């Protein structure tokens, strides 16, 4: 039975042999370090009397990815003050009220609020909307930008209906195959953007006219994830074609590769785990959780990871986010049937948060994994 049906969430740390007091203490330590720790530890920075932002410490900017992640963490932790501060910063500086991307959020801003770009990243919008719905249900709607449910529906309306009825811009979902796009107008996707567990809830809480679309998007995304994850390794690419094959075409704005198992792609297994915990629906994507835990088991013992081709060949000896690999692979235990699933949970529990310049991405995924594996990443 799923958490949605039973209103019960698995605490895999308990199953792995850790005590409830130890788990709670560790969760509070993570919160304090992430939000209020030392300069080489924290991610969150208050701004003025009523705002705050999460800094991508590797790039010295604030991104919709991190801002929306911060809001989700806050609503799961019942921290309304920090939630409202982050949301006001995002709405004040990131939201675009004119032009082709009106209704979307600029994906990158300087920490002073100046926009580094005027384009959106769809993973930010879907996390903003989900966190706002949860805030509405957990704390109630306030006024203006704090009428959370209205704000969430407006975001989703833009995501689906840009370009219609004279409205400028392009939507964030492909209306033919129901897949989320890498950016509006693109003809490919990012497997780690596919969040069927969110779409199941959007199908209940979005504007009524959009609910059928999101129901179909949930089904399509689960089937897509089954296709996008390699049949032996469970790895997905960072960017992929609509049939799931790695996207290796040249992009005009970057010379970097995105057809390998790297950075963005680590999130895919974690998403599969949380989706299965929440809704218990398997369209073939669950097997990827087994495969990735088995394939990385020996490397995970020492943390000696690499950058990999999706078929498992080593593409580069360097790895930018090793903590993120352990965290997301452990979160996959919520869906995995691997004999190694609880050992991954133990490894992760013993793993410290990352410190230093590159801590942002690793520790965001670390926080999500700890919430999920402790049964604290919940539907509100």
Residues labelled as active-site residues: 65, 264
Give the whole-angstrom CA distance, residue 193 versus residue 156: 15
Q: Summarize the chain as % helix, strand, coil (round to 5).
A: 50, 10, 40
Residue 145: both structure tokens together: 């930008």
Kindly report the number of other CB atoms within 10 A of residue 40's CB atom. 11
Inter-residue contact 239 to 246 (CB < 8 Å): yes
Give the whole-angstrom CA distance, residue 232 versus residue 312: 8
Residue 349: both structure tokens together: 């529990």
Residue 130: both structure tokens together: 């989900």
Residue 230: both structure tokens together: 């390699």
Residue 171, beta-bridge partner list: none
Give the whole-angstrom CA distance, residue 19 versus residue 132: 32
> 196-205 vs 122-139: helix axis angle to the nearest 10?
50
Torsion of CA 124, 225, 281, 216, to 10 degrees: 70
Q: Which helix (H) or strand (E) holds 62?
A: strand 62-63
DSSP result, 70-113: HHHHHHHHT-HHHHHHHHHHIIIIIB--SSTTTTSB-SEE-TTS
Number of H helices, E strands in the chain: 15, 6
């Amino acid at each position: 039975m799923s958490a949605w049906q039973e209103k019960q969430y698995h605490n895999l740390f308990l199953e792995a042999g850790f005590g409830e007091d130890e788990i709670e203490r560790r969760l509070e330590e993570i919160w304090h370090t992430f939000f209020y720790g030392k300069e080489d530890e924290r991610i969150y920075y208050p701004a003025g009397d009523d705002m705050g932002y999460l800094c991508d410490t590797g790039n010295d900017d604030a991104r919709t990815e991190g801002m929306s992640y911060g809001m989700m963490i806050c609503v799961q932790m019942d921290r309304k003050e920090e939630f409202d501060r982050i949301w006001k910063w995002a709405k004040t500086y990131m939201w675009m009220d004119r032009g082709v991307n009106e209704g979307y959020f600029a994906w990158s801003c300087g920490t002073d609020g100046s926009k580094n770009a005027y384009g959106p990243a769809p993973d930010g919008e879907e996390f903003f909307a989900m966190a706002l719905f949860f805030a509405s249900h957990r704390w109630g709607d306030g006024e203006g930008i704090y009428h959370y449910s209205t704000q969430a529906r407006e975001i989703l309306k833009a995501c689906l209906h840009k370009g219609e009825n004279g409205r400028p811009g392009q939507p964030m979902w492909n209306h033919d195959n129901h897949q989320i796009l890498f950016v509006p107008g693109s003809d490919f996707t990012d497997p780690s953007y596919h969040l069927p567990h969110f779409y199941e809830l959007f199908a209940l809480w979005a504007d009524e006219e959009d609910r059928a679309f999101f129901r179909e998007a949930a089904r399509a995304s689960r089937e897509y994830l089954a296709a996008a994850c390699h049949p032996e390794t469970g790895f997905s690419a960072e960017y992929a074609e609509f049939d799931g094959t790695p996207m290796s075409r040249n992009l005009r704005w970057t010379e970097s590769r995105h057809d390998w198992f790297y950075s963005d792609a680590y999130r895919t297994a974690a998403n599969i785990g949380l989706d299965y915990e929440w809704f218990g629906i398997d369209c073939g994507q669950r097997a990827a959780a087994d495969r990735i835990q088995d394939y990385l088991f020996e490397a995970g013992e020492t943390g000696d990871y690499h950058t990999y081709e999706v078929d498992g060949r080593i593409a580069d000896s360097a790895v930018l986010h090793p903590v993120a690999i352990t965290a997301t692979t452990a979160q996959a235990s919520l869906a995995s049937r691997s004999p190694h699933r609880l050992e991954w949970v133990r490894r992760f529990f013993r793993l410290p948060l990352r410190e230093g310049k590159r801590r942002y991405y690793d520790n965001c995924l670390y926080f999500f994994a700890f919430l999920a594996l402790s049964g604290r990443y919940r539907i509100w």
